[in-house]
Amino acid sequence: MNLDKHSRTIPLHCPTCAGTKFESESPESYSVTCTGCERVITREDLHRENEENIQAHLGEIKKEISKAVADDLRKRLQKAFKGSKGFKLK
Ligand SMILES: [Zn+2]
């Protein structure tokens, strides 16, 4: 079962202008610069500002995955019981 399709990039929003594009000198740099309003914000602060947004996305992903797991299980069961009489799964 492949769960890769459920991974996604959660867009982080600039607390000042709600822009989603940021620039940084390197992926390890401590802070990033919003390309919309040029506000410099630390990654930590950016994540804190987006906490609600991140949690909402995680909730969505969890829902999708549990649905995918349930679907997968149902398919496996249908396969396993295929051909056996008197056992039907809807
Ligand atoms: Zn901004």
> pLDDT value at position 4?
75
| Per-residue exposure over 59-73, b if at least 16 CB sit within 10 Å of its own CB, e if not | eeeeeeeeeeeeeee
Task: Give the Cα separation of 68 and 27 in Å (integer).
Answer: 33
pLDDT at position 61 over 80: yes
72: DSSP letter: H
pLDDT in tens, 75-87: 999 998 887 666 6
pLDDT in tens, 35-48: 999 999 999 999 99
Backbone region of residue 72 per phi and psi (left: phi > 0; alpha: psi in -120 to 50; beta: other values): alpha
Distance (Å) from CA 43 to ligand 1 centroid: 13
Distance (Å) from CA 59 to ligand 1 centroid: 26
Distance (Å) from CA 23 to ligand 1 centroid: 11
Give yes or no for a contact between 1 and 68, defined as CB atoms under 8 angstroms apart. Answer: yes
- The overall average pLDDT reported for the chain is 89
